[in-house]
Structure 1
Amino acid sequence: MHPTGSPAGRLAAVGNQMIEIHLWLSAELTRLQTSLDTPSRDLRAHCLTFCAALGRHHTGEDAGAFRLLAEEAPELRPVIENLITDHEVVAGILERVEALLGGDTAVPVAQVRAELGGLAALLESHFRYEEKRLVTALNALTGRPGTTEKLLGLTAPPHLPGPR
């Protein structure tokens, strides 16, 4: 993954890094949807790579950031439960996309497009809700030992613009 640039592996502005990861994932999903217009041999690989990255992000949040926030900010537990439910729905969509791409036949572009369209709509809402409710609490973790990748499943690519 990408280096965090944080000194001695200490967390720095985790909430802002989560926003950067969301921006990157959203941009990758848009790029993936656009690539459906001109399918290539790389479509399967690009799609599976995206699915794996999104899955790692949500698994990392569930096991890392959400668990820590539930301990430190119990008032956020209902929000976290809602987000975990969203993660389960997203995982179902990713499984369907992976199944559509798994065969040796041509990619069923219309079906993949429909699944990715639903995923894009869900993620837009999910990311905004998560950011609105958790960024401040996550940023309060600044200075703790650990890495963003442990808490969020991914580290924000360094080339992204700052938070929205």
Structure 2
Amino acid sequence: MAAEGMEAREQHGTQVHPTSSPADRLAAVGNQMIEIHLWLRAELARLRADLDAPSRDLRAHCLSFCAALGRHHTGEDAGAFRILADEVPELRPVLANLIVDHEVVAGILTRVEELLGDDRPLPTAQVRAELDGLAALLESHFRYEEKRLVSALNALAGRPGTAEQLLGLTAPAD
């Protein structure tokens, strides 16, 4: 996974740690999207690994991950995707495909949250199946999104707001 992360950074010319000024962050929205995706990939991999030795924190970690992923996709739909649809109309079909993916992901997240929602023993096999499907879908989704949108997002320099407003969250610092 670390090699994939470095490959994604090199492919898109991203910095490992984005600069901290608001103008610079907004100028590199596409790069920040990649950082968010790398963080979400790592969290999902950790969550899947934690299923092998469930701890008391597993439910909380899983619910926290689901909430963060949901915020990211909701933020993209309401923020970056709306701006891109207006400014780069040729991306509208791509954005429509990505929004459909977001809806499928939201369905998986709802099922995971339902599986974790009560105090019965953790249905590990069911949770694993949902997370495995989510991982496969997200990998394809993230690669497509990065390939098609990074340059357009990075061109949003000078826009009011923050990358968090456009992308729903920011990747935690290492």
TM-score, structure 2 normalization: 0.87
User: Does the aligned pair in 2 maintain the 1:11–1:144 contact within 8 Å?
Assistant: yes
1:50-61 alignment runs, 5 A limit: 50-61=65-76
Please tell me the residue identity of whatever aligns with 2:34.
Answer: I
Alpha-carbon distance in structure 2 between the residues aligned to 1:72 and 1:60: 18
Residue 92 of structure 2 corresponds to which residue in structure 1? 77
Question: Any stretches of 5+ residues in structure 1 without a counterpart?
Answer: 160-164
- 2:169 pairs, out of 129, 151, 154, with 154
Out of 149-158 and 83-92, give the one that drifted further: 149-158
AA paired with 2:76? E
**Residue in 1 that maps onto 2:58:** 43
Distance 2:150 2:66 in 1: 24
Instruction: Give the match for residue 162 of structure 1.
Output: none
For 2:34, the equivalent position in structure 1 comes to 19
RMSD over aligned Cα atoms: 1.5
Instruction: Work out the percentage of aligned pairs sharing the same amino acid.
Output: 82
Higher relative contact order (CA 8 A, sep 6+): 1
Which AA in structure 2 matches 1:26? R
Match status 1:94 vs 2:109 = yes
Gaps of 5+ in 2: 1-17
Distance 1:57 1:116 in 2: 17
Q: Note the C-alpha offset of 1:4.
A: 7.0
Q: CA deviation at 1:8?
A: 6.0
Residue in 1 aligned with 2:121? 106
Conserved 8 A contact 1:9-1:145 = no
- Deviating above 3 A after TM superposition, structure 1's stretches of 4 or more consecutive aligned residues are 7-10
- Give yes or no for contact 1:12–1:141 (8 Å, CA) kept in 2: yes
SS in structure 1 at match of 2:26: coil
- Could you give the per-residue CA deviations for residues 11-57 of structure 1, whole angstroms, max 9, x where no partner exists? 12100000000000000000000000000110100000000000000
Q: Quick one: structure 1 residues 46 and 153, their matched pair in 2 at CA, closer, same or farther if it must change by over 3 Å? A: same
TM-score under structure 1 length normalisation: 0.92
Return closer, same or farther for 1:10/1:40 CA change in 2, 3 Å cut-off.
closer
What is the rounded CA distance, in whole Å, between the counterparts of 2:132 and 2:25 in structure 1?
Answer: 37
Q: Which amino acid aligns with 1:79?
A: V
What secondary structure does 2:27 align onto?
coil
Assess if the C-alpha contact under 8 Å between 2:75 and 2:165 holds in 1: yes
